[in-house]
Amino acid sequence: MPSPASPDAPFSLPRLLTAVTEAVPERVALVAGPRRLTYRTLHDRSLRLAAHLVEAGVRPGEHVAILAFNRAEWVESFLGVMRAGAVPVNVNYRYVSGELRHVLSDSHAVALIAEDSLAAKVTAVRPDLPRLRHVLLIEDGGVRDADLDGTDYERALACTSPDAATPPPTSGDDHYLLYTGGTTGYPKGVLWRQADIFRAALERRAPGEPRARTAEDVAERARRCFPQRMLVLGPLMHAAGQWNALSMMLCGKRVVLSTDRSLRPDRVVELAHREGVHVVQLVGDAMARPLARHLLTEPGMCPELASVRSGGTPLTPSVRALWRAWRADVALADAYGGSETGVCGSASPPEEDSGGAGDGRSFTMGGSIAVLDEALRPLSPGSRRIGRIARTGRIPLGYYNDPIATARTFPVDSEGRRWALSGDYGTRARDGSVMLLGRGSVVINTAGEKVYPEEVEAVLKAHPLVEDAIVVPAPDERLGQRVTALVSLADGAETSADQLRSHCRGRLAGFKVPRSVHVVDRVRRTAVGKQDYRWAASVARGGAEGDVSASGAAPEHAVH
């Protein structure tokens, strides 16, 4: 007898988006540069791509990599790959050849969709990718590399009818793969079922509203929703940008993408104003600060902007103050989550916070989130113990092609319950909220005391003269490791290491106060706006003379 259908079968992402398209076909789904795509147009183009991939021999369950900046074709490709029954693989556009080789090889990608200027980096590693048998190239003004033997993306779509090859049926049990860069080692692919990522990260519903039971429920929500417009600034190749864009589309709302390849505050503000966006999604201070400063020079811009959402790293009090100075009623919210856990919770700190150690790092979490002790037992609310933040229930299947890392990050407790460890540590308050302390991978052990860098960074960044900060360990003969801070100051600001340490002493235990302080021209960040701890650790250890000079680091303890 045939096996019973999975209860999650209806919740494949292609099925859900098809239902939304049928509900609101003429509503604008995506704005990207000069292109404006309705749900019907986006559906049609993604079906054409799916048909092309099927004709090219891509089989259900195989992996197709996407290497592109934020643009309409990224979204079309992502949806088209899934509609072909295949699995999209996000590739960081900043990867060098070795990283590209690893991701394309580790993911077992059989096809690649890439912009011309980015695809050139693949040519050197193509001989090391025997599984890669089909390449689609997106015109972006760069020189097309003939050695890749690629097919033009637009020509492929133009020559293919959506009905040319019937895409295979899809299911919520189909896979969703998200490659994420760790603090050490090469990127790892987090493997989810589509139904689980929908529940854990993509389903938006009003407080008290029940979860969708069918694809028709999702379509009905889209039909009756307010057609909100969100400007997504996070890269689509990263979880925060991708999940915000997909969750908006699953609600029948509009996604606006900035197609610039670097953040230009004037152009972002102009785009947000022109499109009348209601929400801006960004990643931390690195994006929020320059945007707020530009808005302060043009206070009449963006009258419909009501909300700013940060993912990946919380907004600091000083940046929140800039946004409040622009418009007092703008809603500011931080989201907490990760590739291994989905979206776990959010925080909207009160503006009267005094700049203490925990500002902006206390999150209201869902019922599947816990803080675990060493034996994987949830800590009780109000416990003073520090534990690992984890999620159970709708969690990933594991890391693709890496059983050892899977066992480490997705352990099973004594009761048979499986957890996804976020990598972060925290404490559980009496009200059930979680105070985020930071990642265990960069925790500092100084004379036996554990210091979580993000807690110290939050305090430093609350100082009115500090533009940005990052905290890392440095070797110390007596302490083992000493707490070391790299700070960049506001334009024209001057202060001393003693003044910064004095600011910290009033808000942190003595062992957490930085013993060494470096001033740098800027705190380096990754492609998604997070602090670059590898660079900071090199500076803290002294690094090569050229590295320290290039970073703008002053001698230890000297803050001018």
- The tens digit of pLDDT for each residue in 37-46 reads 999 999 999 9
Q: Looking at the structure, do residues 542 and 455 belong to the same domain, yes or no? A: yes
> pLDDT tens for residues 4-25?
578 899 999 999 999 999 999 9
Tell whether 519 is covered by a domain: yes
Q: Which pLDDT value is given to residue 250?
A: 98
Tell whether 525 is covered by a domain: yes
259: its two tokens: 């197609």
Tell whether 472 is covered by a domain: yes
> Does the structure show a pLDDT above 80 at 466?
yes
Which of 144, 163, 193 corresponds to the end of one domain? 193
Q: Looking at the structure, do residues 393 and 410 belong to the same domain, yes or no? A: yes
Q: Looking at the structure, do residues 431 and 523 belong to the same domain, yes or no? A: no
Tell whether 240 is covered by a domain: no
Instruction: Classify strands 63-67 and 87-90 as parallel, antiparallel or unpaired.
Output: parallel
Tell whether 325 is covered by a domain: no
> pLDDT tens for residues 216-274?
999 999 999 999 999 999 999 999 999 999 999 999 999 999 999 999 999 999 999 99
Distance CA 87, CA 12 (A): 12
Q: Which pLDDT value is given to residue 350?
A: 56
Residue 468 parent element (H or E) = strand 466-476
pLDDT band at 355 (very low <50, low <70, confident <90, very high): very low
Which has more pLDDT, 440 or 77?
A: 77
Domain range enclosing 432: 361-441
Q: Looking at the structure, do residues 43 and 113 belong to the same domain, yes or no? A: yes
pLDDT band at 527 (very low <50, low <70, confident <90, very high): low
Q: What is the dihedral of CA 287, 290, 292, 297, to 10 degrees?
A: -160
Q: Looking at the structure, do residues 396 and 436 belong to the same domain, yes or no? A: yes
Residue with tokens 């197609």: 259
Q: Looking at the structure, do residues 496 and 373 belong to the same domain, yes or no? A: no
Q: What CATH code is carried by the domain that includes residue 90?
A: 3.40.50.980
For residue 125, CA distances in Å to 58, 148, 207 come to 21, 10, 49
Distance CA 227, CA 248 (A): 9
Tell whether 72 is covered by a domain: yes
Q: Which pLDDT value is given to residue 266?
A: 97
231: its two tokens: 């400007």
Which of 193, 224, 247 corresponds to the end of one domain? 193
Average pLDDT of span 365-378: 95
For residue 295, CA distances in Å to 258, 289, 300, 305 come to 17, 10, 8, 11
Tell whether 453 is covered by a domain: yes
Q: CB of 298 within 8 A of CB of 329?
A: no
What total number of domains does the chain contain?
3
Which of 441, 476, 511 corresponds to the end of one domain? 441
Q: Which pLDDT value is given to residue 288?
A: 93
Average pLDDT of span 346-360: 52
Instruction: Classify strands 134-138 and 151-152 as parallel, antiparallel or unpaired.
Output: parallel
Q: CB of 488 within 8 A of CB of 465?
A: no
Distance CA 387, CA 74 (A): 38
Q: What CATH code is carried by the domain that includes residue 369?
A: 2.30.38.10
Q: Looking at the structure, do residues 132 and 77 belong to the same domain, yes or no? A: yes
> pLDDT tens for residues 197-208?
999 999 998 888
